[in-house]
Amino acid sequence: MTLRISAVVPTRNRPDHAVPCAGSILSDATDDFELLVVDQSDDDATEQALAAFAGDRRFRYIRSSSRGASAARNVGVEQSTAPIIAFTDDDCRVSTDWLQQIRMLFEHDPDAALVFGKVSIPNELKGRGFAAEFEPHQRVHYEYPPADVPWGLGANMIVRRSLFERVGTFDPLLGPGTAFRAGEEFDLEIRALAAGNKVVHAAEIAVFHLGIREGEEASKLVRGYGRATGATIAKHVRLHTRESKVLLSWFAHFTGRGLVNAAMWRRPTGIGFVCGMLAGAYLSLGQPIDRARGIYTDQ
């Protein structure tokens, strides 16, 4: 029996991205998957634009009053039906064999619990600004990768449903659209590894990331990544997550690299990322944690 996949895409107020993203997934000729687009938009423009796919029985549109990409993904997890759940962002376009490669990996590796695929910027957009990329190198992880080894991105993240059942779903106060702006995939990977699960970085599973930021917007994005990293590390230190203190070395690593870059007049220096990490760690101290579930809470 072919392994079925649920693909989940969160979106908000970006119909011009949501439609081609959904189209790239639905261009797969097979019918053993479902696509759930979770729409948090402030108006009905995205819903109307996505109506073009209403006749495709593989497509499911979900309107949600929640806010933040993590909350939208959690809605997708709750309403999806397949044992494998693949996530990408609305400003991404998946490769033509995205679902095929996901299916092959999970069929041949029953121990794979969390997989991060390749995230690339199209050649025509390179040099215009900054966007997150991920080029996998070491394939299998059972321990936390060090600070100088890239971790995966939520823009191309695939989860075996049983992992969510073991460690919980995404922290709703981490990720785009939240106070901490990012870090939800970093947090999930820490939780997965701390619980002894296998994490795979797979270059053969590829998406293209079109979300280019320029100038001050790019700097703001990098500071946001730093803020999320600091908040995530601080949360796990507070929770006494297994070997979480190892992650504290990240502060020293990125600070040292930033100072070297500044001394050698390299730009960007990375100091903004470090400042973001420190701000995120500080803000974490005042944010309550639901210790039973290992997530931040507003209460």
Residue 179: is its pLDDT beyond 90?
no
* Same domain assignment for residues 248 and 206: no
CATH number of the domain residue 199 falls in: 3.90.550.10
Q: What is the mean pLDDT of residues 11-33?
A: 97
pLDDT of residue 171: 98
* Same domain assignment for residues 91 and 222: no
Range of the domain at 284: 217-296
**Number of domains making up the chain:** 2
The pLDDT tens digits for 73-101 are 999 999 999 999 999 999 999 999 999 99
* Same domain assignment for residues 132 and 222: no
Which of 169, 190, 213 is the C-terminal boundary of a domain?
213
* Same domain assignment for residues 263 and 146: no
Measure the CA angle with vertex 164, ends 204 and 5; round to 5°.
Answer: 45
* Same domain assignment for residues 21 and 154: yes
The pLDDT tens digits for 232-283 are 999 999 999 999 988 988 899 999 999 898 888 888 888 999 999 999 999 9
How confident is residue 298, by pLDDT bands cut at 50, 70 and 90? Answer: confident
Residue 194: is its pLDDT beyond 90?
yes
Q: What is the mean pLDDT of residues 199-219?
A: 94
Which of 213, 242, 262 is the C-terminal boundary of a domain?
213
pLDDT of residue 129: 85
Amino acid at residue number 207: V
Can you give 226-293 as a three-state secondary structure string? HHHHHHHHHHHHHHCCCCHHHHHHHHHHHHHHHHHHHHCCCCCCCHHHHHHHHHHHHHHHCCCEECCC
* Same domain assignment for residues 42 and 98: yes
Residue 98 phi/psi, 5-degree rounding, is -55, -55
* Same domain assignment for residues 149 and 282: no
pLDDT of residue 1: 58
Average confidence score pLDDT of the chain: 95
pTM attached to this predicted model: 0.96
pLDDT of residue 246: 87
* Same domain assignment for residues 161 and 260: no
pLDDT of residue 268: 84
* Same domain assignment for residues 167 and 251: no
The pLDDT tens digits for 120-177 are 999 999 888 899 999 998 999 999 998 888 899 999 999 999 999 999 999 999 999 9
Which of 148, 182, 213 is the C-terminal boundary of a domain?
213
* Same domain assignment for residues 224 and 208: no
